[in-house]
Amino acid sequence: MLNKMLLLVIVASFVAVSQAQEFGAFGCPTVSTKDNFNLTRYLGTWYEIYKFKANFENNEKCIQANYQLKPDGHIRVNNTGVSISDGSPSTAIGDIYIPDPSVGSRLKVKFASAAPYGNYWVLDTDYENYTLIYSCTSILGISHFEFGWILARSRTLPDSTIQKLFGIMNGYKINTHHFMKTDQSGC
């Protein structure tokens, strides 16, 4: 049984490392998400300003996400980007839902029908300018992998807003040095 558990941890760790920017020791940090989250105000188009490295967005610029409410109460997210190397467009369609309406800012997302839902936590947003998103998955409490995004309603954000959002992440002991700026020029 112990060998099977060890094998499971090794396999899960390999998958995490291959897909996520940050793979770390111990479980996920405890974070607070946006109180009184208003999904209706959140819907619409957001532009990616910063992200933790994510293999599914490698070598892309002009990344944006459009969130639309579906009749079943789920949210359709349409992520688009442009290849930096050849200019070809890319699209990924995802499904988001709110598992517990009393904590509406802790959503779940997936981009493939066979994939499990992952965390999509809105740590902060003002709905009109910026949103700060974090996702962390613990692996048996001994390690974790995480993603982070800063999105905006326009293709740029003032440095003061970016520093404020970095400060929120730093307050939770999430390393903001893992953020990479997304190229939003020439879009």
* DSSP letter assigned to residue 103: G
Q: Beta strands of the chain (E only): which ranges?
A: 22-25, 44-52, 60-69, 75-83, 89-97, 106-110, 118-125, 130-139, 143-152, 179-181
| pLDDT tens-digit readout, 93-148 | 999 999 999 999 999 999 999 999 999 999 999 999 999 999 998 888 777 889 99
Note the pLDDT of residue 134.
96
What would the mean pLDDT of 161-175 be, rounded to a whole number?
96
Which sequence spans correspond to the domains of the chain?
Answer: 2-181
Q: How far apart are CA 39 and CA 68, in angstroms?
A: 10
| pLDDT tens-digit readout, 22-74 | 555 677 899 999 999 999 999 999 999 999 986 666 789 999 999 999 999 99
| pLDDT tens-digit readout, 84-94 | 999 999 999 99
Note the pLDDT of residue 23.
54
Say if residues 135 and 121 touch (Cβ distance below 8 Å).
yes
Superfamily of domain 2-181: Calycin beta-barrel core domain (2.40.128.20)
Note the pLDDT of residue 1.
43
11-to-2, 34, 116, 151 alpha-carbon distances in Å: 14, 33, 16, 32
pTM equals 0.85
Give the pairing type, strands 143-152 and 106-110: unpaired
What would the mean pLDDT of 147-156 be, rounded to a whole number?
97
* DSSP letter assigned to residue 142: T
What would the mean pLDDT of 6-20 be, rounded to a whole number?
37
Say if residues 47 and 184 touch (Cβ distance below 8 Å).
yes
What would the mean pLDDT of 151-171 be, rounded to a whole number?
97
Task: Reply yes or no on whether the pLDDT at 13 is more than 90.
Answer: no
Does 119 or 20 have the greater pLDDT score?
119
163-to-29, 48, 148, 179, 180 alpha-carbon distances in Å: 20, 16, 15, 12, 14
